[in-house]
Structure 1
Amino acid sequence: MTPAPSSTAARESDEKVADRRAYRSVIERLSKASVDKHWEPYRDIPWDDPEFLVDQTDPRWELPDVDKLGGHPWYRSRPPETRARIGLWRVATAMKIGLQFENLLKRGLLNYAYRLPNGSPEFRYVYHETIEEGHHGMMFQEFVNRTKLPVRGMPGPLSLIAQVAPWIPLISTELFFVFVLGGEDPIDHVQRKVLKDDREHHPLEETIMRIHIAEEARHISFARHYLRNRVPRMPRHRRLMLGVASPVVLGVMARIMLAPPGPMIRRFRIPPSVVAEVYLRNRAAKQEIRDSVARTRELCVDIGLINPLTRRIWRVMGIWSDPRPARSPGP
């Protein structure tokens, strides 16, 4: 007679089924949200409204507090129109890099979806996300076009290397979604801070950021739930490799998204000493990079990707921060 399964084994099996159902429910809710609330860039943004026109000398383009160059004496000593053009260049470059990243992301998502089985809830959601990212790309490029600035986005060599990203899902879907978070979390972090800084923003920039934040919240949620569902079930050796690769990907991506563009530095002749002081030796700038990946770092802790070895890699990449101690309950 076959022995009955132990109560522990039965309970674990029930928990796995419940977890899978909960995960599927989340993906279905995200898909429904993409239907219920989404934006069309050429329908929902009044590009030709006089208030939305882009003037390179508009003082609302001046650098926000989140960019440490904005408070430096060198920047403050520039004429107002130069400060505005530097700020606009920064915004336009961020959008150009954003649309290039989302181009890689869309191709990777489609490679991932290509192999999904019939009935997979991820398939529908991935296509919703791909469509939304397509809209973001059009929105960002339209903004860049209207600035009339010769921004390029990623440096050429980096752009060439980045072409491997869409093929990551064929090797490891888990690593691909770490890459997704590496690109989306830093920009989301910066855009949320900019909108909370109590400054007057150009209505075109603010509209684009609000649309992007709203839809990226779903994309980030999907990547996080996907990793929470998959990583704990990975074989130990694959989980270790993912744990080693993740901080490298996240550290590189955060710097790509937040670093000052070289063409801007050359165009406005920003002294190397100022660049070093503001971005390379500035503790606040380094903390900003760590903060930009905070949510992904906490996720990696939760799903078991942090151990003494991988923690050292996080530190080498400059993106580790010890978890804050929990507050003791009051009396």
Structure 2
Amino acid sequence: MTTSLPQSPPSREEFAERLLKGSVKRSYEPVVDIDWDAPIDPDKFFLPPQMVTLYGTPEWEALSRSQQIDLSRQELVNVLSAGIWFENILNQALLRDLMHRNPTAKTTHYALTELGDETRHMIMFGKTIERVGGTPVRPKLFRRMIINSLPLVFRGPLLWGAALVGEELFDALQRQTLEDPDLQPIVQRLMRIHVTEEARHIQFARDGLRKTVPVMPWYRKMLLANVHGAGGPFYRMLFTLPIQYSRVGLDGKRMRRVARSNPHFRDKCVSAFAPLAEFFEDIGLMGRFGRWMWRRAGFL
């Protein structure tokens, strides 16, 4: 009787090659893969009602259905706008990192493939904002200055950690809403494309951390295990920006307070962060300060 030896995990190059083959088989061109001329249904939501930050509150129940739909539209525009700025950061960081990489390596080729995906996603998000009649939410000047500085420090494990914080929460939320019958068809299609391609990006980033964390100096590991906690207050701020409420005629600052104290919204935040929190725990990257920041922001 022969026993098969356990297979060793694929190398970084082998993993990248696998993702490259997957990209060839399942990639999208949103300009042609989304029907941009399809009518917008006035009775369908742009985000499922249960994903809207005020859902379940008396303030939500006081809104008419058309107002609820409009609020879902403004919250979608806010999230897509943030997605554009984040993809911008990631693309800049990838290009800067590639200056120091072997241009013949499969990992380099996959990073370039991911960069192409993200560029198409930025176009897809921008066209969707335009199609639904929204106005992009732009960060203030000082925030744009911070955003432009981040690619200077995002390299190696820090880049993969930032990519996961920026992608996994949105991915988890999108997976919960893909089949919602109340959702606009154009939004369903956008989410399907984004989830499919982001799944490969998330695998690439996770594999990068799995392979680098065990050989990382203790001080870098400690830094990385805690710095990602900044994602908690960032997302709390992002998801409850007053402008998305004021655009539908509500008191923006008051609705922000209502949303942040909304138990239903907090439950959604916890469920969205759960897969990433488990991954950080598994690889030893959930530091005490990082955990405290996520918990204080309502994600744990």
Q: Identify the TM-score tier after normalising by the shorter chain.
A: 0.7 to 0.9
Q: What does residue 170 of structure 2 align with?
A: 187
What is the match of residue 279 of structure 2? 299
Change (3 A) 1:145 1:310: closer
Offset at residue 316 of structure 1 (A): 4.2
Between 1:77-86 and 1:202-211, the stretch displaced more is 77-86
Shift in alpha-carbon separation, 1:270–1:142, aligned structure 2, 3 A: same
Q: Does 1:207 align with 2:189?
A: yes
* Conserved? CA contact 2:52–2:72, under 8 Å: no
Give the superposition deviation at 1:288: 2.5
Do the aligned partners of 1:62 and 1:70 also contact (CA within 8 Å) in 2?
Answer: no
Residue equivalent to 1:218: 200
Q: Which residue among 97, 102, 112 is the counterpart of 1:117? A: 102
Higher relative contact order by CA 8 Å / sep ≥ 6: 1 or 2? 2
More displaced stretch, 215-224 vs 298-307: 298-307
CA 252–275 in structure 1, closer or farther in 2 if over 3 Å, else same? closer
Distance (whole Å) between structure 2 residues aligned to residue 118 and residue 289 of structure 1: 39
Which amino acid is the alignment partner of residue 40 of structure 2? V
Within the alignment, does 1:287 sit opposite 2:267 as a pair? yes
**Which amino acid is the alignment partner of residue 73 of structure 2?**
L
C-alpha deviation, 1:101, in angstroms: 0.9
In 2, Cα distance between equivalents of 1:232 and 1:117? 23
1:82 corresponds to: 67
Name the amino acid aligned to 2:66: E
1:63/1:242 CA distance change after superposition, 3 Å: same
Asked if 1:145 corresponds to 2:134, the answer is no
SS of 1:223's partner is: helix
Shift of 1:314: 4.5
- After superposition, the CA RMSD in angstroms is 2.5
Equivalent-residue separation in structure 1 for 2:156 and 2:181 (angstroms):
40
The Cα shift of 1:185 comes to 1.0
The letter of the residue matching 1:209 is M
Tell me how far apart the structure 1 counterparts of residues 98 and 142 of structure 2 sit (CA, whole Å). 28
TM-score by length of structure 2 reads 0.88
Q: Which of 1 and 2 has greater Rg?
A: 1
Partner of 1:231: 213
Matched residue, 1:54:
40
For the 8 Å contact 1:231–1:239, the answer to whether it is kept is yes
Quote the offset at 1:135 in angstroms.
0.8
1:287 Cα shift? 3.2
Cα separation, 2, equivalents of 1:311 and 1:301 = 10
Q: Aligned to 1:269, what secondary structure does the other structure show? A: coil
Aligned length: 294
Deviations 1:133-153 (A, max 9, x none): 111111110111122222324
- Which of the residues 114, 120, 145 maps onto 1:129? 114
Q: 1:295 to 1:40 in 2, by over 3 A?
A: same
- Distance in 2 (CA, whole Å) between partners of 1:183 and 1:43 is 26
Cα distance in 1 between the residues matched to 2:136 and 2:111: 30
2:211 and 2:203 mapped to 1: Cα distance?
Answer: 12
Aligned with 2:19 (options 30, 35, 39):
30
CA distance in 2, matches of 1:22, 1:314: 32
Counterpart of 1:5 in structure 2 is: none
Residue correspondence of structure 1 range 97-112 to structure 2 within 5 A: 97-112=82-97
Name the counterpart of 1:164. Answer: 149
Distance 1:155 1:191, change over 3 A: farther
